[in-house]
A and B are shown apart, each in its own frame.
Chain A
Amino acid sequence: MSCKLETELTAYVDEELDAVQAKTVRAHLTECADCRATEALLRRTVEVLGTLPAFEPSVGLRRTVLSRLDAAPPSLGERLRAWLRPGVLFPSTVGLLAAAAVALYIAGPGAKKNLPSELQDSTALDVAMNFDVATDYDVLGLDSPEDVEVVARLDELEGRP
């Protein structure tokens, strides 16, 4: 087919042409037998395709997909979101405080007087410097069971083996 409007016929059948284009094609169809035949063929095809049965996925598809999500390791985003939960933020703050204390301690003896009041005591400083190995949660001032659990499972929460 060499008719220049032939390429517009499918869009015409699909009602995807604007009003001006549609009017042009409609007018053309009254005088072009080839395009009328093609238009009829396209319309029959669209109708026939509509009679094909829809694909029905198996009933197990949902279960399989959800199982795969459960089985997969958490993504970076999920791990970050877990870390940003309030229950996790608190001990992280303690860790940051400890790091700040160490930095001030290293900076010089004079810097000690600038420490926060809770770290002025040398025991508190020792705890802060050895926070990673500390297991005495009373010393750390963690009395909430949730916070204790978070500290106890730090390795797991950080995704370490």
Chain B
Amino acid sequence: MLRVAGGDRLAFASLFDRHQRGVAQFAFRFVGDRARAEELAQDIFVKLYRNASRYRPSAKFKTFLYRVAANHCLNEVRRGEYRVKHVSEGPEEGEPLETAAPEADRPDMHLAGRQLEAAVGSALAALSERERTAFTLCRFEGMAYLEIAEVLQASESAVKSLIHRATLSVARKIEAFQAGADAPLRSRA
């Protein structure tokens, strides 16, 4: 990262290759839209390059990166640039459900998998921004509570509460979906 701060493009490309999937996935889970997630990921990496000199070696790089990512996504959503997609509201007739990856469009991927993805997207959209950030970093990026606390600049105890509320909320949504209680979603299958 220090080399990136010195304008080393090769070092930046190496960092990009290592973290692009994680950052893009974070953005996707945050806004629930593939194209917007790509745009956000672009912005985040450009911002990372421009702000590389602010990085201090005492901070873990991943923490620094996801702080940039989380702040950018939060700011963009708050500015109204991006509206978190409520997948539960579902597509119009004939429009495919939003999916997480190209594999999800494969014929061999079970329809239930896409519906599960939609249910998770819906549950994420219903969370507060901080809950969604903490939940995404924990469940999809595999970060520890302490690391998430550093990203959010919050106490570990606050992060524990955020993740608990978020996980429980998502769990109940998935449970309802699996029990067939999410009738509007199933009716579009």
Spell out A's residues near B (CB within 8 Å).
7-11, 14, 16, 38, 41-42, 44-46, 48-49, 51-58, 61-62, 64-66, 68-69, 72, 75, 77-78, 81
**With A46-B167, A55-B100 in contact, is A81–B6 under 8 Å at CB?**
yes
30 of the cross-chain contacts (CB-CB < 8 Å) are: A10-B163, A10-B168, A11-B160, A14-B163, A16-B144, A16-B160, A41-B171, A42-B171, A44-B171, A45-B175, A48-B174, A53-B101, A54-B101, A55-B21, A55-B28, A55-B100, A56-B21, A56-B101, A56-B102, A57-B20, A57-B21, A61-B38, A61-B42, A62-B13, A64-B42, A65-B16, A65-B46, A68-B42, A72-B50, A77-B53
What's the interface size class on B, roughly? 35 or more
Decide: A57 and B41 in contact? CB cutoff 8 A.
yes
**Complex partner residue of B161 from A7, A51, A54, A62, CB under 8 angstroms:** A7
B172 → chain A closest CB, angstroms: 8
**Is B103 interfacial (CB-CB < 8 Å)?**
yes
- Contacting residues of chain B (85-114) with chain A, CB-CB under 8 angstroms: 99-104, 113
Partner of B170, one of A9, A45, A58, A69: A45
How far, in whole Å, are A9 and B161 apart by their CA atoms in the complex? Answer: 10
Excluding A52-B117, A55-B24, A61-B41, 7 further A-B contacts by CB distance (< 8 Å) are A49-B120, A49-B139, A55-B28, A55-B34, A57-B38, A77-B7, A81-B6
The dominant DSSP class at the A interface is helix
Chain B residues in 8 Å Cβ range of A9: 164
Contact for B100 among A14, A38, A48, A53, CB less than 8 A: A53
> Which residue of the partner chain, among A14, A52, A61, A64, contacts B145 with CB atoms under 8 Å?
A14
- Please give me the residue from chain A that is nearest to B106 by CB atom: A53
Q: Cβ of A52 and Cβ of B163 under 8 Å apart?
A: no
Contact with A along B31-52 (1 / 0, CB 8 A): 0001001100110011001100
B42 — which chain A residues lie within 8 A by C-beta? 61, 64-65, 68
